[in-house]
Structure formats: structure tokens, C-alpha cells
Structure 1
Amino acid sequence: MPQKDKGYVNPEISPRSERSKKHHQAKKNHRGCFFWGLLVTVIALIVGGKYAYAKYTNAKNAANTIFQSSNVKKARDVNSTLKDGHPVSVLLMGTDTGALGRDFKGRTDTIMIAVLNPNKKTMTVVSLPRDAKVEVSGYESKYPSKLNSAYFYGGSGTAVKTVQNYLNVPIDFYATINMGGLERLIDSVGGLDIKPLLTFTYDNQSFVKDEETHMDGARALAYVRMRYTDPQGDYGRQARQRQVLTQLAFKGSHLMSLINQKFLSTISKQMVTDLTFDDLLVLGSKYRVATHNMVTDHLAGQPNQENGESFEVPTTKERQRITNLLRKALDLNHAQTGDSGEWIDADD
């Protein structure tokens, strides 16, 4: 039986006019994502045999260092959800803080929702457009706003509430990394071997499509940051981000990387999450099987200018498609998608 998220949201919404568009078919992959790199790093260090106690202590210290509550009430009881082995969702955010010498609180250049379903042995990862037109939870007077401004206005908790309202999907946890941290994480595992998805030059770095390239942190950062000369715009950049984060997780899950204190130390300095050490232990014991298959997709919108700003505006039909995908992955009942911070009856 699907798990129902009782009490999760309320009134009717006014559907936006729909525009014709092409849907993007979900793709399957057999690796993890960056979040799993963090998870596997902590769990594998704990169960790593002869490395046991010292690495256990380091792992627990790292987990305690990166913990930061979202300071928002969860949409459902995550403790019982984890205990019973139900699917869980994590909002993954990459901020521009720390990148290219920046030292201010940034916006979220990368926004993804990951669902771990141990029963179906599937991880579903959906990218959301940073420029999606939304009403930011708690900052309704600033409407219209871009989705990536939610973190800037109120931090991770505001981003979580905004995404929940926008798609009518419960967000159980979040994990945030700054882009400067991404650069250092890649360097800490010795770089990545990537086959670029297209040929381009950006920030004095050149890439050739399908030509395997070894990328250190700075080169990889240039690869994932380029946006305007990609024929697919931000959607193309999202694909490159998923590619690099997936490869980082794959390499980070190898034992030689896991026992690298530099890698663990870098994670503890560049990430924050509201997953506790105990949460990670449960995920490691019950949810690791979810990495057997990975399904990726993205919410697609159409460009729209308003008050001199450029927004991405997905149709109601497209948002409903993504809501359906995520709720199905979470084993939840069908529900109408959200709209600009308004809640909907989950039983409709």
C-alpha cells in the first residue's frame, strides 16, 4: 500500500495556461549521485574492517560537523519513515558561495531532488531550473522570484519549504555544498575522468565532445559552470552537473578514497545537511540497495520575461508530470501539483 502523507497541504490552485512542449524521457544509470558519495563515505568508513575504530571516530566527527538543522517542521515523520524503510527524499543544492573567490552567501546554482527507494532498488534524481518562477515561502511579497533565490532569502529551510509548496512533494532532508567546495572535493580524490557532452571553451578551459579528459577541481568547475553557449542552456548545464557529481560519487565510493583523510576533511568543511549520524547509519544499512538503478529527469520550462527579469515557467502539465514521478518514487498517492507556494489536498 502506498504511504499517505496525511495533512500535507491544502486549498485549490488556479492552473496556469499550458503551452505545448516536449517531455524529456527519464534515463537510467547504474551509479550514484553526489549525495550518495557523502553517504557511502561515512558508512563505508564505519564498516571498513581493520580501519574500524579510528575511521568510525573520524566519520562520526565529520557527520557531526556537517549537521545543520533546517529549522523547519518536517512535512512528515522522517524518523518513522526511515525506521520502516519507506522511500525518502533529499533536496540537493549547490551554491555559488566559495566559488571563484566569492565569500558571500550565494544562490543555489544547482537544485536537485533525490529519492531513495530501497524496495524498488531505485534512486530517482530530478533537476529543477534555478530560474523557475516561484513564490518563495515566507517571502511572498517578493513575488515573482526565482527558485534559486529561496536559499539566498532564508537559507536551506526556506528552500525546502518553497520546493515542497511548488511541487506538492515532501522533502525529508537537504544537503548543500558550495561550488568552491566542489572544486576541493574533486582535487581531494585526484581529479575525475570525464567525457564532455559538447565541445566548448570557458574560463580559459577547452573541452572536446566525447574525448575523455582528466579534470582537476578548477577544470571541472569550469565544465559545470558554462551556461550561455550551451544549445540547451541551463538544461545542458544541469546534465553536465549530474555527470560530474555522479562521477565524483563513483570515485568517492572506492575504499582508497574513503580512507583519504583529506577527502573526509574536505567534506566536513564544504557541506551542510540535516541528516544526522544516526540517519546516515540507517540509510547505509537499509537504503544502499537503492543505488542499483538511477533514474534522472528534469523539470522543463519556457522562458518568460517579467519586470526585466528572465524566468523559466513550466506548464502546469509539466509540473504535474514531475510531481507524479517523484510521488510515485516515494510510494505516495497521486496528488495535484503545487503552485506558487499554495498547498493542495494530498487526497485529491
Structure 2
Amino acid sequence: MNRTNRRKKKKWPWIVGIPTVLILGAVVYGLFIYMDFTKTVKEIHEPIDREVSDKREVPIAFKKQDPFSVLILGVDEREGDSGRSDTMIVLTVNPETNSTKMVSIPRDTYTEMVGRGFKDKLNHAYAFGGIEMAMDSVENLLDIPIDYVVQVNMDSFKDIVDAVGGVTINNTLNFREGNYSFPKGNIHLNGDEALAFVRMRYEDPRGDFGRQDRQKQVIQAVLREGASVNSLLNYKSIFGAISNNIRTNMTFDEMVDVQKNYRNATGNIEQLYIEKGSGQKMNGIWYYMMNSDELRGIHDELKEHLEL
């Protein structure tokens, strides 16, 4: 055997070894992510004292791919009180149709405070009775079961935006909020800017409806950025921001089942709109009064999507 062949043979272990090391590195990295993810989910899981909705005959089973609903509460926590749920978004997820429906509920909606026996602004339900009363009151308003809840601390939501490297959105309205200016077009927002962007109400000709659209834009942008490769490389910061600012009654095993069985459905979101109601003052306080026909239409569409 000549010297050239000997040299070629010596290179093979290195050629084989490089992909092996890369694969092992990816496996170890994936294991670290999984361990941190498991820890994060345990930290954000918060059981709630609430029975299964009487609007369901049997509890949902993710392994059977039952359609389910989620209430997202964006809570402004204030010193000295329990805060208000200034963002209320309901999602219904159906794996059979591979679709998710999303509806934002105006925070000033005049409706029953379930458990209190009177009507008030919907966002006050959280202040009166916490997550449980908020879920019950939204459930009563929309006439569908609310299966799960995700509570987001809006004041610290900026940490999550920063953790994914900021978000890019298409802004349709030129406005200022606080110290920030938001020109029309595609703009990139850091955490503080994103928080100001979603909180503005009074300069928007559409009022709370315009704010709801901006909230949904930022939430979808966060989800999109969170799934990117760059975010995976920065997963510790993302998990840290999530564990500090999010609480949910969904368990780790349930999240795994959703990821496994509902992935296609959660990637296809259809937005429903509540916008035909009217404002009304009572005792000097402004309320949003739902249009009964529009509300009935949303009832029917969400029930059909949940196969109820």
C-alpha cells in the first residue's frame, strides 16, 4: 500500500466523526431545551378552582383530538388592587378542519358578572373574582365552554418581545403614544415600543377595535418570531420571560398533546370581529353594548367550530 492511500485512510475517521459530533451536539442541545421547557411549563402551570363547564357533557380529550377553547387574558396589574383584564381574546381550535378561530372581546362590554348577580364592564370580572369569574363571565357572554386560560402580565409582556429579538409588524396608522412614534408601514418594535403600540386607544379612529387588531398583530408576530431559528438559539431568555409573565391551567402533558395533535390547526387562524355594537353612558360611565344579532352569529360560529 502506498503512502497516498495510507493518508486517505487516516482521514476517514475525521470525515465520519464530524457529522457524528454535530448530531450528538444537536441531541444534547435538544435535551437541554426539553429540560428547560419542562421546568418552565411546571412554573407557569397554575391550577384553578373551577369545575368542568356545564356547557360540556363530557370533558375534552386531547388524545381524541376534541376541539377546545382558550381564553387569553392580558392583565394590567396595579399596585393596591388585583388589576384589570384589558385584553380578552378567545380561541377555538379544531384539528378536524385544521383551523383556529380568534375573537377579541371589547373590554368595556356590558355583561353579567357571573357569581355577583349584576352587570358591569367585562374587564371588571377579573378584579371582582379573578381568573375563575373572568372565565365564567366570558363563557356566559359567548355561550360556549371556556376550557383553558392563559394569563399574560401585560406590563411585563415587553420582556417576551425583547426575548424573541423584537417583532416586525405592518402598521396601518401613523400615531404617537407616550415617547414613541409609529409611522405607517413595516416597523420593528422592541418590548417597550410594542407595549405602547398595543395600549394606544384615543388616537385610533376605531377606538378599542383598532387596539384589538394591534394586539393580535403583536401576539402573532411574537409566535412567529418565537418559532424562528434565532429564537431557538436564545431559548433561555424566552423561557425566562415566559415563566415570569405567563400563567395557565394547561398542564405539561396537555401542552405536549396539543403540539402533537393540533399543530396544523393552530397555524391557521381566522379572525372574527365584534364591531356592530354601540357605546352607551349609564351613571356617567361608558359601556359597550353588544349588537344582539352579531353576538348570536358569533355564538353559532364558535359552537359549530367546537362541534357542540
TM over 0.5: same fold?
A: yes
Quote the Cα distance in structure 2 between the aligned partners of 1:258 and 1:178. Answer: 23
> Aligned to 1:242, which of 191, 194, 216?
216
Quote the Cα distance in structure 2 between the aligned partners of 1:137 and 1:79. Answer: 21
Shift of 1:104: 4.6
Distance 1:103 1:50, change over 3 A: farther
Distance 1:251 1:232, change over 3 A: same
> Aligned to 2:133, which of 133, 142, 158?
158
Shift of 1:69: 1.7
Q: Is the 8 A contact 1:123 1:295 kept in 2?
A: yes
Q: Is the 8 A contact 2:101 2:270 kept in 1?
A: yes
Shift of 1:293: 1.9
Quote the Cα distance in structure 2 between the aligned partners of 1:183 and 1:128. Answer: 22
SS of aligned partner of 1:126: strand
Q: Is the 8 A contact 1:164 1:171 kept in 2?
A: yes
CA radius of gyration, larger in? 2
Q: Is the 8 A contact 2:180 2:196 kept in 1?
A: yes
Q: Is the 8 A contact 1:97 1:103 kept in 2?
A: no
Quote the Cα distance in structure 2 between the aligned partners of 1:147 and 1:53. Answer: 43
- Report what 2:263 is aligned to: 288
Q: Is the 8 A contact 1:173 1:275 kept in 2?
A: yes
Sequence identity, in percent?
34
SS of aligned partner of 2:103: strand
Q: Is 1:328 the counterpart of 2:304 in the alignment?
A: yes
Q: Aligned-residue CA RMSD in angstroms?
A: 1.7
Distance 1:144 1:79, change over 3 A: closer
- Report what 1:92 is aligned to: 72
One-letter code aligned to 1:74: V
SS of aligned partner of 1:195: strand
Distance 1:218 1:77, change over 3 A: farther
SS of aligned partner of 2:70: strand
CA displacement 1:57-102 (0-9 Å, x = unmatched) = 211111111111221112137754322101110001101127xxx5
Q: Is the 8 A contact 2:74 2:151 kept in 1?
A: yes
> Aligned to 1:174, which of 144, 149, 163?
149
**1:95-110 matched pairs, under 5 angstroms:** 95-97=75-77, 104-110=81-87
Quote the Cα distance in structure 2 between the aligned partners of 1:316 and 1:152. Answer: 26
- Report what 1:74 is aligned to: 52
- Report what 1:196 is aligned to: 171
Q: Is the 8 A contact 1:197 1:240 kept in 2?
A: no
Shift of 1:177: 0.3
| Count of matched residue pairs | 279
Q: Is 1:128 the counterpart of 2:128 in the alignment?
A: no
CA displacement 1:153-203 (0-9 Å, x = unmatched) = 111111111111112101110001011221110011111122212011111
Shift of 1:241: 0.5
Shift of 1:306: 0.8
SS of aligned partner of 1:242: helix
- Report what 2:96 is aligned to: 119
Q: Is 1:216 the counterpart of 2:180 in the alignment?
A: no
- Report what 1:252 is aligned to: 226
Quote the Cα distance in structure 2 between the aligned partners of 1:49 and 1:78. Answer: 40
Q: Which structure has more RCO (C-alpha within 8 Å, separation ≥ 6)?
A: 1
Quote the Cα distance in structure 2 between the aligned partners of 1:103 and 1:51. Answer: 43
Unaligned runs of 5+ in 2: 1-25
SS of aligned partner of 2:51: coil
Q: TM-score, normalised by structure 1?
A: 0.77
Distance 1:103 1:213, change over 3 A: farther
One-letter code aligned to 2:184: K
SS of aligned partner of 1:176: strand
Q: Is the 8 A contact 1:304 1:310 kept in 2?
A: yes
Shift of 1:49: 4.6
- Report what 1:270 is aligned to: 245
One-letter code aligned to 2:223: A
